[in-house]
Structure 1
Amino acid sequence: MQSSEVLPVLPLPSIMVKPPSPRKEMTVADVMLSLREDIPEAPKFKSFMETSSGNQSVTRLEDPGAVFCVGDTLNVLVEMKDFNGKPKTYGGDFILARIHSPELKASASGVVTDLHNGSYRVSFTLFWSGTVQVSVLLIHSAEAVQVLWRERKGSYWKVLFVGTFIKGDQTETSQCGPMLKTTRPLCEYVDKREGEYYACIKPPTLPCSSLNNIKSHNSEGPFLTQDEDRLLERKNIGVQIKNSFPAVQVISCDVTPAKPSEKCLLGKESPIPTGYFYQNRWFSTVCQQAPFLSQDTITKCLTGKRFYLWGDSTIRQWMEYLRTKVEGLTHKDEVGNWLPLRSFNYAKSIALQWKRHNPPWIGSRAVSTKGFVYISRELDDVVLGGGRQDAIVISIGQHFRAFPLEYFIHRLLNIRRAILRLQARSPETMVFIKLENTREFTTPMLRMSDTYGHLQNLAQRKVFKGMRVVIVDAWDMSVAANTFSIHPN
């Protein structure tokens, strides 16, 4: 922000900050090791017909004679079969599940446990009474998961970037990316402290400093076998597994649904599911939640606060929503595609800002290099008031799905270290980490599959575990709502 746009700092009592005790730095290898069990290995299949079929598989109630009360756990067993109808003998399928009551506009996600024998247990907490339907989706077969994981490891070239260099009336283009296969001279854009690297093949005559914008397109391939291609056809993605039982009747049993008694605190670990929808409103199971349903209550909540958002278009969507809900805002946006957005209400001391993250940034439209920032650097430089009047929200991931998981984890660890530095100088600043949400089944699976997003969310939970941050589980919400949209309404 320019100096004229910085809001006044509200006076707060001084706080003694105890320096963090020495600890072993978390590494990319540490995080990858912690995810080892979440990447099961399926035996090589001989034919497509031997792979998991959602249409052939079935779900059963684990306790079909039980009476179900609000607050109980409903366990469903998934018996996976191949396209020949033969039971599977190993796990690794990617399954998402939810319960829902359309007439109540209620829904919640389920917890899937792989029994590693071709069967799965899905556990649902029954949050409301009434007729409850169970929905279990086979997103990808175990065999498809293995193909997707194989094609992600070490691959930086499923998406190609083109940089445009401009100086005066002269324009030149060249290939760019986080890793290039070339022996030609390079323009290298390096942040040594953060260990971040991006490069372009040096243009014929223009200087490296004239890089103006970047856009991307999908490369050819990866090239799969015919059976592997069939695994990733749209008709074999997100297949509803049929239930062997009707909708479940849940009664109150004179039980009052438990409500969280604790306030929402930084660093509080959240269970899964983190909440549920009822009458189209989200109820947290983690902590007390104040309703922010009107423009007036949202404006009052943000009065006297600066709200910094960094990341991709899914967090820009928050910015766009707040602009429709906060009263009296003046917008001071930078002109250009995906450049920073800023909004102010000077009378109420409200400031909102969104900035996109540094490459990779996938998109067919040219994106100015002017607006790219390493979030870790921005966190070091951000203007803070030293108290709870400042809130930071970070959301990255969607643009990293097409690249090796290690690349994403490296970026997360840089952000982790920057958050620790920020909290050392401003311990009352609130930091939120928004996890990825699900996206469309029509997305190019070899580049953007939700399998990749799921693993990246697990990595985020590992990297930020034990820190004084709030995890916003957008994945849990989007599974419960059955949205499968990168920008859900």
Structure 2
Amino acid sequence: MQDASYILSDGTVAQTSKLQLEIKNILNRIDQTIPKNNITIKAKATSAKDSNVFLRNPKSSYCVGDHLIVRVEMFDYQGNQKTYGGDFLRARMFTSELGAASSGKIEDFYNGTYHVHFTLFWEGKVNISIFLMHPSEGSSALWNFRNKWHGYVDHMGKYTKHQEVQEVECGFERMKTQELCEYKDERDEEYFYCAKPQNFSCESLTDVKGWMKQKTLFTEFEYSLFNTSNIRVKIPKDFDAINVLSCNNSTTDIKKKCTFGMKLEYPSGYVMKNVWYPKACSMLKYDHLEKLGECMQGKFIYLFGDSSIRMWILYFQRYLKTLTQFHLYEDNWARQILSLDMKRNMMISWKRHTFPFLGSSYQSWKEERTIAREIDLIGGDQRTVIALTIGAHFKAYPIFHFIRRLLNIRRAIERLFLRSPQTKVIIKTENTSAMKKNIETMSDFHASVHYSIMEIIFSDLNVGFVNGWDMTNAFDSNDVHPPETVVRNEVQMLMTYIC
């Protein structure tokens, strides 16, 4: 597994920093949850169809609010019970007639058995589905290959001088055989390199792009594990729908509005009739964004991240009629978006997080900043809102890049709260995806690891969370760009924190 340490320009290894120690500690915590096995034949891998699901302490009926535990026992294709964990599972309970659903939390005993924890949120006939997304052998391969190299992605930089342009190879690893231009943020220990073009200064780098290569570390064994028929396979269960009653002891207490400082939890709520209901608090309800005019008066809303949070500003533009987009000059889909509402003296903007950011077109290098550096440039006050997400574009890179970026974001938020504790910060977790292509680099397994890291790094900050990871599983959207129904509920959670 690659180390988070780095090499200085003179070839010496830098002394381990406090940040690197934090990265290593978190990386080791995650690594301990990944199975270590040397299996190379599919017959000994986890088989969903040979495994089983059953209720722990089954009853004829349950009450709303009860805690339900489902036991999962995993077997291989030869019918042998597994003796280690690490299977990538996903759990969901639902009542189709009510349009109701929620997620289940997986507890891994690391011996081939699992408990799935559900909260029974509604009355009725409730169905349970447990899916094997990847066998533990697949999870292990994805983790090991991801952290083995930077070879899944190519980068290119464009250098410009007057009318002359030259394109060169770039990347996050030092190229040992070439003279380099080194772009470094010494405080945050972020490094990027390009081969130095002849007759150009390093300062003349204007644009960079990164795109997925058709390279793989998969052997025939891994390909057999990640065949389409082996992804998201339902595990057989020995029970039908359970009966949930309202019961006299069911609580119908009015919950307080969701606010800052509440922990990121899973499951964090449930969906019913296309409306999200948080577990520990209440979400603001409104028919139309226009009704929140007084709340939005004078607000400055900064959205940072990838295309999944970009969908929020597009939603605002669609339904807030007084919002006018200010067209900026950069010419690609990931260009910064700035929208102004002169009536409300309100501003909302979206800006991509800097590299890694995958796409076929060049992105301006001169205007690139990490989210941590963007936060440092915001003074903050009671009118300022910062919402961010990060993750999808990091899946094809060793995990230490993601951990480092999140730790630096946390430090930036802490600095922000020192100068302006009134500033509102909301963090969105990743969405689930379709998982139909590029499994090696784009699997939701990587996103599940990201989610665990977010739980660790942001655990005690006074921020709000929009749990896209939970919501998209409950809605069963399976799309990194979910339908508007999901986006509307994500935006409603955002507005709950703002108003």
Q: Distance in 2 between matches of 1:469 and 1:288?
A: 16
Report if the CA contact (8 A) 1:344-1:352 is conserved: yes
Q: Tell me which residue corresponds to 1:181.
A: 175
Shift of 1:367: 2.4
Amino acid at match of 1:183: T
Task: Identify the match of residue 170 of structure 1 among 164, 167, 182.
Answer: 164
Deviates more, 1:389-398 or 1:206-215: 206-215
Task: Identify the match of residue 480 of structure 1 among 474, 479, 483.
Answer: 474
Q: Tell me which residue corresponds to 2:351.
A: 355
Shift of 1:134: 0.9
Please tell me whether residue 75 in structure 1 is matched to residue 50 in structure 2: no
Q: Where do 1:85-484 residues align within 5 Å?
A: 85-259=79-253, 261-335=255-329, 336-337=331-332, 338-384=334-380, 386-387=381-382, 389-484=383-478
Structure 1 pair 477–229 and aligned structure 2 pair: CA distance change class (3 A): same
Report if the CA contact (8 A) 2:86-2:110 is conserved: yes
Report if the CA contact (8 A) 1:309-1:392 is conserved: yes
Unaligned runs of 5+ in 1: 1-23
Please tell me whether residue 28 in structure 1 is matched to residue 23 in structure 2: yes
Amino acid at match of 2:308: T
TM-score, structure 2 normalization: 0.88
Deviates more, 1:461-470 or 1:168-177: 168-177
Shift of 1:206: 3.3
Report if the CA contact (8 A) 1:59-1:78 is conserved: yes
Shift of 1:61: 1.6
Report if the CA contact (8 A) 1:438-1:485 is conserved: yes
Shift of 1:315: 1.0
Q: Distance in 2 between matches of 1:34 and 1:262?
A: 34
Q: Distance in 1 between matches of 2:271 and 2:427?
A: 21
Shift of 1:257: 4.2
SS at match of 1:440: coil
Amino acid at match of 1:367: Q
SS at match of 2:262: coil
Amino acid at match of 1:166: T
Task: Identify the match of residue 84 of structure 1 among 66, 70, 78.
Answer: 78
Structure 1 pair 308–262 and aligned structure 2 pair: CA distance change class (3 A): same
Shift of 1:263: 3.6
Structure 1 pair 303–194 and aligned structure 2 pair: CA distance change class (3 A): same
Shift of 1:175: 1.2
Amino acid at match of 1:234: T
Amino acid at match of 2:235: I
Amino acid at match of 1:378: E
SS at match of 1:363: coil
SS at match of 1:35: helix
Report percent identity of matched pairs: 35
Once the two structures are superposed, what CA deviation does each residue of 1:334-380 show, in whole Å capped at 9, x if it has no partner?
Answer: 13221211111122121101111111111123323244222112111
Task: Identify the match of residue 60 of structure 1 among 15, 35, 54.
Answer: 54
Deviates more, 1:139-148 or 1:468-477: 468-477
Structure 1 pair 168–138 and aligned structure 2 pair: CA distance change class (3 A): same
Amino acid at match of 1:94: F
TM-score, structure 1 normalization: 0.90
Deviates more, 1:157-166 or 1:26-35: 26-35
Report if the CA contact (8 A) 2:50-2:79 is conserved: yes
Q: Distance in 2 between matches of 1:422 and 1:40?
A: 35
Report if the CA contact (8 A) 1:299-1:325 is conserved: no
Structure 1 pair 81–303 and aligned structure 2 pair: CA distance change class (3 A): same
Unaligned runs of 5+ in 2: 1-17, 484-499
Amino acid at match of 2:170: C
Report if the CA contact (8 A) 2:172-2:192 is conserved: yes
Report if the CA contact (8 A) 2:60-2:243 is conserved: no
Shift of 1:399: 0.8
Q: Distance in 2 between matches of 1:293 and 1:445?
A: 39
Amino acid at match of 2:337: L
Amino acid at match of 1:372: E
Q: Distance in 2 between matches of 1:483 and 1:244?
A: 27
Structure 1 pair 270–447 and aligned structure 2 pair: CA distance change class (3 A): closer
Q: Distance in 1 between matches of 2:29 and 2:155?
A: 32
Q: Distance in 1 between matches of 2:325 and 2:225?
A: 47
Report if the CA contact (8 A) 1:339-1:371 is conserved: no
Amino acid at match of 2:23: V
Runs of 4+ in 1 over 6 A off after TM superposition: none
Deviates more, 1:211-220 or 1:237-246: 211-220
Amino acid at match of 2:354: N
Shift of 1:260: 5.8
